[in-house]
Amino acid sequence: MKNNVMVLLVVAIILLVGGYIYLNNQKQMTQTNPKMEQKQELITPQSTETKEFTMTARQWAFEPSEIKVRTGDAVRLKVKSVDVAHGFGLPDFNIDTRLEPGKETTVEFVANKKGTFTFFCSVFCGQGHKDMKGTLVVE
């Protein structure tokens, strides 16, 4: 019984020391390399322009697969699934919408972050589901 308690105590100490070392190392890395901090600058919309795109979702692609807008643009996507149920996920802008076959769904947001963001099908749609992705570029 004493041996079991001793083993548990040693394991707990090792985990605590290891966790401390890991967290301290992460802190030092982000202090010496600011790029490691993955903060995204939020931009106040400077434009009242709405960029509208018509998209098609089909097994296993979005068309177009790349959308380019400027920072501050209001974006309106009119997305239509032409075969089965799909989803439109763009987590960087808190978007996750179900797309029903044959119906057009409108997705709207403000492109208030600069960068390149991945959108993807968020509803399992078959064998090629994991490859159903596209790119939003906010310049």
Question: What is d(CA 105, CA 55) in angstroms, rounded to the nearest whole number?
Answer: 10
Q: What is the pLDDT of residue 7?
A: 66
The mean per-residue pLDDT over the stretch 87-105 comes to: 96
The mean per-residue pLDDT over the stretch 2-6 comes to: 71
> With bands split at pLDDT 50, 70 and 90, how would you rate the model's confidence at 33?
very low
The mean per-residue pLDDT over the stretch 102-121 comes to: 96
Q: How far is CA 74 from CA 49, 52, 57, 70, 78, in A?
A: 6, 9, 21, 9, 13
The mean per-residue pLDDT over the stretch 108-130 comes to: 95
CB 82 within 8 A of CB 101: yes
Tens of pLDDT, residues 47-63: 567 899 999 999 999 99
CB 107 within 8 A of CB 121: no
Question: What is d(CA 71, CA 23) in angstroms, rounded to the nearest whole number?
Answer: 35
Question: Per-domain residue ranges for the chain?
Answer: 2-36, 50-138
> Where is 62: in which H helix or E strand?
strand 61-63
Helix/strand/coil (H, E, C) string of 84-134?
CCEEEEEHHHCEEEEECECCEEEEEEECCECEEEEEECCCCCCCCHHHCEE
Length of the chain: 139
Tens of pLDDT, residues 15-29: 666 555 656 655 555
Match domain 50-138 to its CATH number in 2.40.30.10, 2.60.40.420, 3.40.640.10, 3.40.50.280. 2.60.40.420
> With bands split at pLDDT 50, 70 and 90, how would you rate the model's confidence at 46?
low
pLDDT mean across residues, the chain: 82
